[in-house]
């Protein structure tokens, strides 16, 4: 809008300057000056119109009012200019008619030949219809009259020619002005379009600025989105990797069960068949391994189940490439028997199976279920040591059933959900070596007979089952569940999951200073088995007494296993 105002100002000044020039000598001013003024006035008029139109679009009221005032002033000036121009043109016409009349009436013959005389035209006709014949004037005029007539004819001819030429010049001038006007119109049109474009761009600029502002705001959302997408993609990728790893790990997760056809072996194998982390289930028993495998193999999960023949080759093939080896092989208790009473039978079974495992799959995690765990674990350890493949991080005595029982029993006393109950059970896995730490449970205040009864039940809960089964064996189903849970925890830890903690009887530093190399406590599991052995933690006086009693028996149980291997390598 400012450029239009400046343009109008310049045009107005130019018109004023031309009018001043015109007014100095209206009679002699050139027709071109008049044409220029006329064209300038019409241009000024159009510029004012444009400025007026644009000022109506002005959004700021103060600016718009200022523009309206300017338009008003310009229009007043334009009216003045036109009036002045009309007046000057009239003056010029009047002056010219006076000049023409004077010239027409004031011509003399002697002027005809003068060089500066514009009427001196040798081409003019020399004869005239009025020319005197030799016999005298045709209508009776004398010679002087003839000269005057000749002069008048010449002047008439001059006027005719001059007028024609002047009309011609004016026509050309008008044509040029019209052409210029046209060009100016084109330029003005272009200018209008440019202004329009500028306006549009102005609006678009605002829009663009708004969009840019939004874009800057959105940029964070965008980058946040990108970060989120990247994070989600990464998580998905990790999950995918984890699953892929899980799949590959489960594909590589061959799990062997030795004693698979027994009371524990069968339900344990069933639960492992249902575990997607297990890809290959290898079942071995001195009786009925292939039958159990055939049965389980019909379950519609992806893992393969293979039952191996009860011979050395079958055992070796079963163990080969296993990641986890579970050993529930052995004889169970009968009513009135302690776990230690099983030693004589089960020690040799476990020793022999350990030998095979140390040779066929020395890197596998060995989970000993066969009782007495307090002794069978040291037996495996001694066998592995003898074979030079002992890795204390990969040997576990399965005491999971003790914590399973403890959480269930305490929930029965407290009438709570056993899933929310966690009772640390430390020590070993037989009688008084089983030490529940109720002070570290959700019910630290349990005391008196309730506590005594609860602790006793946890320590000797297995006897309930043995008694109830009345000679048909000991705990099998609950043990299968506990064994499957421990295997699952180990596989989770092996597949990268952190913070997987299970209580288990392992080669432990906690009481080594008292000559007790194995002890059950909370153990964090990792890809290589034992990741971290948690200490027993704060115990009360009552629990300390339990621990003291535990350590005495535990030491003997461990030593018994060690001694057995030494005596029976």
Ligand X SMILES: NC(=O)c1ccc[n+]([C@@H]2O[C@H](COP(=O)([O-])OP(=O)(O)OC[C@H]3O[C@@H](n4cnc5c(N)ncnc54)[C@H](O)[C@@H]3O)[C@@H](O)[C@H]2O)c1
The residues that touch ligand X, with contacts defined as CB under 6 A, are 258-259, 261-265, 284-287, 328-333, 342, 346, 349, 353, 369-371, 373, 398, 401, 429, 473-476, 479
Q: How far is CA 188 from CA 3, 7, 193, in A?
A: 13, 11, 8
Q: Min. distance of Cβ 562 from ligand X in angstroms?
A: 19
Catalytically active residues are: 429
Q: How far is CA 155 from CA 150, 162, 404, 446, in A?
A: 9, 10, 142, 147
Q: Min. distance of Cβ 313 from ligand X in angstroms?
A: 14
Secondary structure element (H or E) that encloses residue 42, with its range? helix 31-55
Q: Min. distance of Cβ 288 from ligand X in angstroms?
A: 7
Beta carbon nearer to ligand X, 112 or 349: 349
Q: Min. distance of Cβ 247 from ligand X in angstroms?
A: 30
Beta carbon nearer to ligand X, 26 or 314: 314
- Structural contact between residues 397 and 368, judged by C-beta atoms closer than 8 angstroms: yes
- What is the 8-class DSSP label of residue 500? E
Alpha-carbon gap, residue 384 to 368, rounded angstroms: 13
Three-state DSSP class for residue 522:
strand
Helices (H) and strands (E) in the chain, counts: 13, 11
Beta carbon nearer to ligand X, 74 or 396: 396
Beta carbon nearer to ligand X, 368 or 551: 368
Beta carbon nearer to ligand X, 381 or 476: 476
Q: Min. distance of Cβ 235 from ligand X in angstroms?
A: 39
Taking CB positions, which residue lies at the least distance from ligand X? 262
Alpha-carbon gap, residue 377 to 383, rounded angstroms: 10
Give residue for tokens 């709570």: 416
Q: Min. distance of Cβ 525 from ligand X in angstroms?
A: 18
Cβ neighbours of residue 444 closer than 8 Å, sequence gap 6 or more = 438
The encoded tokens of residue 334 equal: 């009968």
Asked if the peptide bond before residue 372 counts as cis, ω within 30 degrees of 0, the response is yes
Beta carbon nearer to ligand X, 8 or 373: 373
Beta carbon nearer to ligand X, 73 or 338: 338
Beta carbon nearer to ligand X, 177 or 261: 261
Task: Please provide the size of the chain in residues.
Answer: 569
Q: Min. distance of Cβ 349 from ligand X in angstroms?
A: 4
Neighbours of 315 (CB within 10 A): 26
The encoded tokens of residue 459 equal: 């320590």
CA neighbours closer than 13 Å in the CB half-sphere of residue 274: 9
Neighbours of 376 (CB within 10 A): 31
Three-state DSSP class for residue 386:
helix
The terminus-to-terminus CA distance of the chain in angstroms comes to 108
Q: Min. distance of Cβ 430 from ligand X in angstroms?
A: 9
Closest by CA position to 346, among listed 380, 371, 369, 381:
371
Q: How far is CA 118 from CA 24, 109, 125, 138, in A?
A: 25, 12, 16, 30
């Amino acid at each position: 809008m400012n450029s239009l105002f400046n343009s109008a100002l310049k045009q107005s000044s130019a018109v004023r300057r031309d009018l001043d020039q015109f007014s100095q000598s209206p009679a002699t001013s050139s027709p071109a000056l008049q044409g220029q003024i006329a064209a300038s006035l019409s241009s000024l008029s159009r510029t004012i119109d444009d400025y007026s139109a644009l000022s109506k679009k002005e959004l700021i009221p103060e600016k718009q009012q200022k523009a309206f005032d300017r338009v008003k002033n310009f229009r007043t000036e334009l009216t003045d200019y036109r009036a002045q121009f009309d007046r000057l043109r009239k003056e010029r016409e009047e002056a010219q008619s006076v000049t023409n009349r004077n010239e027409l009436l004031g011509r003399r013959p002697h002027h005809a030949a003068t060089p500066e005389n514009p009427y001196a035209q040798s081409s003019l006709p020399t004869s005239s219809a009025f020319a005197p014949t030799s016999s005298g004037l045709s209508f009776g005029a004398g010679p002087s009259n003839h000269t005057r007539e000749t002069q008048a004819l010449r002047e008439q001819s001059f006027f005719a020619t001059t007028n024609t030429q002047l009309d011609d010049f004016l026509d050309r001038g008008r044509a040029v002005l019209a052409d210029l006007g046209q060009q100016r119109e084109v330029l003005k049109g272009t200018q209008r379009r440019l202004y329009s474009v500028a306006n549009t761009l102005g609006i678009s600029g605002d829009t663009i600025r708004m969009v840019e502002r939004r874009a800057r705001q959105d940029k964070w959302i965008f980058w946040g989105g990108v970060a989120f997408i990247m994070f989600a993609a990464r998580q998905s990728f990790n999950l995918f990797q984890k699953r892929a790893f899980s799949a590959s790990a489960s594909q590589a997760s061959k799990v062997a069960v030795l004693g698979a056809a027994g009371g524990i072996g069968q339900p344990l194998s069933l639960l492992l068949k249902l575990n997607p982390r297990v890809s290959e289930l290898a079942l071995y028993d001195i009786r009925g391994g292939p039958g159990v495998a055939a049965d389980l193999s019909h379950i519609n999960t992806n893992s393969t189940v293979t039952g191996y023949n009860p011979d050395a080759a079958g055992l070796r093939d079963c163990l080969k490439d296993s990641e986890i080896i579970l050993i529930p092989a052995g004889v169970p208790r009968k009513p009135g028997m302690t776990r230690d009473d099983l030693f004589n039978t089960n020690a040799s079974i476990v020793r022999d199976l350990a030998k095979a495992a140390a040779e066929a799959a020395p890197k596998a995690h060995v989970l000993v279920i066969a009782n007495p765990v307090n002794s069978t674990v040291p037996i495996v350890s001694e066998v592995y040591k003898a074979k030079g493949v002992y890795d204390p991080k990969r040997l576990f005595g399965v005491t999971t059933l003790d914590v399973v029982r403890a959480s269930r029993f305490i929930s029965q006393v407290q009438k709570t959900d056993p899933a929310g109950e966690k009772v640390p059970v430390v020590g070993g896995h037989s009688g008084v070596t089983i030490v529940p730490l109720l002070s570290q449970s959700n019910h630290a205040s349990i005391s008196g007979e309730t506590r005594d009864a609860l602790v006793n039940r946890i320590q000797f809960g297995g006897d309930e089952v043995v008694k109830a089964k009345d000679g048909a064996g000991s705990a099998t189903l609950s043990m299968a569940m506990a064994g499957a849970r421990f295997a699952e925890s180990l596989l989770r830890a092996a597949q990268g999951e952190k913070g997987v903690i299970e209580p288990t009887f392992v080669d432990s530093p906690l009481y080594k200073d008292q000559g007790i190399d194995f002890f059950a406590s909370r153990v964090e599991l990792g890809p290589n088995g034992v990741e971290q052995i948690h200490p027993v933690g704060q115990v009360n006086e009552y629990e300390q007494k339990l621990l003291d009693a535990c350590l005495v028996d535990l030491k003997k149980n461990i030593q018994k296993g060690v001694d057995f291997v030494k005596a029976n390598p």
